[in-house]
Amino acid sequence: MKLNYLTRTICLGAVSTLALSIDSAMPVLAQLTLPAISVDEPSRPSTRSSTPSRRASATRAAPRRAAAPLQQVAPVPYIVPGRGTVGALTPSYAGGQVANGGQLGLLGNRGVLDTPFNQTTYTRDLVENTQARTLSDVLLNDPSVASALPRNIGREQPVIRGFLLGNSSVGFNGYFGLIGNNNFNVLDAVERVEVIKGLNGLLNGQSPDDSIGGAINLVMKRARNEPIAELTTSFASRGQGGVHLDVGQRYGEHKEYGIRYNGSYRDGKTEVDNQSLRDESHALALDYRGERVRVSADILYNQFSGSGLSARNTLANTLPGVPAPPSPTNFWNPSWTGIKGENTAALFQAEVDVTDWLTIYGGGGFFDNAITPIISNPTIINARGDTTASPFVNRQDRHNHTEQAGFRATVETGPVLHEINFNTTLWSNQIDGSRTNGTAVSSNIYNPTPSPFQAIPLAAVTKANTSSLNSYGIADTMSVWNKRIQFTAGIRRQEVAQDAFNAAGVSTSSYSAAAWSPAFTLIIKPLENVSVYANYIEGLQMGTIVDQTYQNSGQVFPPYKSTQHEMGVKVDWGRFTTTVAAYDISQPAQISISNPLPQLPTFSIDGINRNRGVEINTFGELTPGWRLLGGASFMDARQERTQNGTNDGKRSLGIPDVQVSLGTEWDTPFINGLTLTGRAIHFGDAFADAANKYLIPNWTRFDLGARYTFASPWNGKPITVRFAVENVANSAFWMTSSSDRQIYLGAPRTYLASTTFRF
């Protein structure tokens, strides 16, 4: 609690100072155009050896005498080599919704055509203009990504290429394990959302949440050369109001020092009956950029609470099929279910250009999370929609630490250019928890019935498990003919250790293991705007220690590997880019086997999940003022080598055969500043169980919106007003995840409105 109080004090003190400095600096700086820090593309290392300084040539201002008035000194743009990542962003692509590349972990920043994976980097403009409130709202724009959980369940869990991605596997400036599983809403402080589809063990090391389908990295905002002061007010049906403050400023003779603060608060009823949510977030970003040194520090704090928690629903195995979905606003859980918690995270990074061909880097951070949800996950027991549930309180505390260090070097050997990358990643975690069960409650999905309040006492929190992931990775990207051919060979040594404890704090199981995970990639550019790529990469997953929700609680499964083969073609048409990728991923399957009531299900590793698919992605401007973003994903996900061949050839649970997300924006010619938007999202049918008994029908959702930007009458700065309607037709549909017989209700029609003022 002292740490959280200190975090708030630092953030509030910093924003007060920042606001005063912006107010005093704005009259002068409003007339000054400041050059951005420039980023040098990776190139042959000897080109700057004769240059006495790595600063761009510029005339320095004369030294100021003590009594002289303050002079306007523009910053000298330092050259950041292509090896640099701290504070270095790839430029936005035409249309501004997507960036032209992003971070690739061990391999550093790469442009789209130099990335041997299917990657999309979403910009701050997209986040703001779509009024995204959660990470899942951003990922809706990607046809290869789905959400395994509803928006207001208290957790976010994306699905990439049919595989679950836990929030601990969401990166924070390239460091993983600093974003929690539960409602750690830092989106207001995010500049970029980078999404890599497919295995990425070489790039980022083993995922803390054993995710293999891809990786998501959040790049935090940094102070710009120009001062920024923005206030955004928002509203979401039925009564969720919010406010977001974003202020930033750079200091120093050449704007070396930066500070930026983002704070937001939301509270009120959501679009679902008997449900409300409150969220408060603070983010403070500090950075220094010098001639050869770049340093950054981030402090994040988030506190949240909600009542009427959305839930996953389990289909009883006696049901003949999936019941028809009820009204999308229905809520049949007890209204006293809910969640409360807080998150604190901090990250420090540093990067030094030792020579013109060598950059070393390192950093570390921590994450503390404490949540207390009251959960009631109902089971639908008959076709009439009757449900039964056993509420419980589940307190969980997480304590994560992560460190990273490495180097990036550019070396020539004859006609071959080598980009050599090495790093080591360290991650440790301790989870403390307790659980207390309540009394069973009943309801109906079509006609919800209130349940009397239960005061479920919370047992003392004890250590549940500890784990650590350490790895060492090295890769060499060899290129010839001005990088028209690029071949990468790399390998990562991954070490994992885990211990589980009972309520008395006694170790019940433990293991440690290690494995090598190689990767190979190839890029060929037959034309300057065409990139053909292929990759083979492996991913290691931590052996599961079965939790107490299963009959075989405490059983330990050894680590296991997954593999990916992928190839694709990328074409940059100038202001419009398309990617077509085909992949084949094999993963040992984890399933839940039902037992006769009242026995708990059994957790088992059974066979292989093999996901094969084709992805079509597109982004950019078709014509000036008309933007397109999204695409389609086609998947054939099958089970192989299952026990006794029972489910061989059947579709993997929770994975649709087709997924489409296509959004468009049109800047109207008849009203200057008015933009109309639309988006269509389609999910094909999917099975909610491994036996393919319960089919979830396909569904389609349409979103519409508009925004209008005009000059403020009091300061001449732009004001932007946005309005959108999600699920315009208020369609009712079930969605499913990768857990056996679990489904949830899709979100109802939702109205969103926001206004951004600039000062």
Task: Quick: pLDDT tens for 117-171.
Answer: 999 999 999 999 999 998 889 999 999 998 877 777 767 788 999 988 876 778 9
Strand partners, 284: 261, 299
pLDDT at 604: 75
Q: Output the CA torsion sign for 297, 397, 171, 242.
A: negative
pLDDT band per the 50, 70, 90 thresholds, residue 577: very high
Q: Could you give the CA distance from residue 754 to residue 237 in angstroms, rounded to a whole number?
A: 12
pLDDT at 552: 78
User: What DSSP state is assigned to residue 327?
Assistant: -
Find the length of the chain. Answer: 759
Lowest-pLDDT choice from 109-118, 281-290, 427-436, 587-596: 587-596
Is 298's pLDDT higher than 80? yes
Q: How many CB atoms lie within 10 A of CB 650?
A: 18
Contact 603, 581 (CB under 8 A): no
Strand partners, 540: 561
212-215 long-range CB contacts below 8 Å, 24 or more apart? Answer: 212/163, 212/539, 212/541, 212/562, 212/585, 212/587, 213/159, 213/160, 213/161, 213/162, 213/163, 213/164, 213/165, 213/585, 214/144, 214/145, 214/160, 214/161, 214/163, 214/165, 215/105, 215/165, 215/169, 215/171
pLDDT band per the 50, 70, 90 thresholds, residue 645: confident
Q: Could you give the CA distance from residue 486 to residue 479 in angstroms, rounded to a whole number?
A: 4
pLDDT > 90: what percent of the chain?
Answer: 65
Q: Which residues contact 90 (CB under 8 A, 6 or more apart)?
A: 39, 99, 100, 101, 102, 109, 111, 121
pLDDT band per the 50, 70, 90 thresholds, residue 182: low
183-204 pLDDT tens trace: 567 899 999 999 999 999 899 9
Helix (H) or strand (E) holding 349: strand 338-353
pLDDT band per the 50, 70, 90 thresholds, residue 58: very low
What's the N-to-C CA distance of the chain in angstroms?
34
Three-state secondary-structure class, residue 276: strand
pLDDT band per the 50, 70, 90 thresholds, residue 594: low
Angle at 404 between CA 403 and CA 407, to 5 degrees: 160
Helix (H) or strand (E) holding 242: strand 240-251
List the alpha helices (DSSP H) in 30-179: 124-129, 135-139
pLDDT > 70: what percent of the chain?
Answer: 88
Q: Could you give the CA distance from residue 518 to residue 493 in angstroms, rounded to a whole number?
A: 9
pLDDT band per the 50, 70, 90 thresholds, residue 55: very low
Q: Could you give the CA distance from residue 625 to residue 629 in angstroms, rounded to a whole number?
A: 13
Q: Could you give the CA distance from residue 751 to residue 728 in angstroms, rounded to a whole number?
A: 9
Q: Could you give the CA distance from residue 654 to residue 739 in angstroms, rounded to a whole number?
A: 7
pLDDT band per the 50, 70, 90 thresholds, residue 662: very high
220-271 pLDDT tens trace: 999 999 999 999 999 999 999 999 999 999 999 889 999 999 999 999 999 9
Per-residue pLDDT, averaged over 740-751, amounts to 92
pLDDT at 76: 52
pLDDT at 713: 93
Is 47's pLDDT higher than 50? no
Q: How many CB atoms lie within 10 A of CB 598?
A: 5
Q: Could you give the CA distance from residue 182 to residue 184 in angstroms, rounded to a whole number?
A: 6
80, burial (CB in 10 Å: exposed 0-12, middle 13-18, buried 19+): buried
pLDDT at 386: 96
Residue 5: C-alpha distances to residues 43, 294, 297, 306 (Å): 47, 29, 18, 22
The sheet carrying 163-164 orders its strands as 145-147, 158-160, 163-164
The single residue listed with the structure tokens 């489904």 is: 743
Q: Could you give the CA distance from residue 317 to residue 504 in angstroms, rounded to a whole number?
A: 35
User: What DSSP state is assigned to residue 4?
Assistant: H
Contact 247, 19 (CB under 8 A): yes
Among 42-46, 592-596, 639-643, the range with the most confident prediction by mean pLDDT is 639-643
Q: Could you give the CA distance from residue 233 to residue 754 in angstroms, rounded to a whole number?
A: 5
pLDDT band per the 50, 70, 90 thresholds, residue 40: very low
Lowest-pLDDT choice from 469-473, 493-497, 511-515, 731-735: 511-515
Q: Which residues contact 338 (CB under 8 A, 6 or more apart)?
A: 305, 306, 307, 308, 309, 373, 374
| pLDDT, mean over the chain | 86
494-534 pLDDT tens trace: 998 888 888 777 887 777 888 899 999 999 999 999 999 99
- Give the count of alpha carbons within 13 A of 522, CB side only: 8
668-685 pLDDT tens trace: 999 999 999 999 999 999
Angle at 80 between CA 79 and CA 86, to 5 degrees: 150
Is 409's pLDDT higher than 80? yes
Is 73's pLDDT higher than 90? no
pLDDT at 738: 72
Pairing of strands 145-147, 718-726: unpaired
Task: State the amino acid at position 641 in one-letter form.
Answer: R
pLDDT at 26: 38
Contact 454, 438 (CB under 8 A): yes
Per-residue pLDDT, averaged over 426-447, amounts to 93
Contact 82, 111 (CB under 8 A): no
pLDDT band per the 50, 70, 90 thresholds, residue 16: very low
pLDDT band per the 50, 70, 90 thresholds, residue 27: very low
pLDDT at 50: 36
pLDDT at 505: 79
Per-residue pLDDT, averaged over 692-708, amounts to 97
The sheet carrying 379-380 orders its strands as 441-444, 386-389, 379-380, 313-315, 742-745, 734-736
DSSP symbols for 374-392: EE---EE-STT-EEEE--E
User: What DSSP state is assigned to residue 574?
Assistant: S
The single residue listed with the structure tokens 């195995």 is: 317
pLDDT at 184: 62
Is 5's pLDDT higher than 60? no
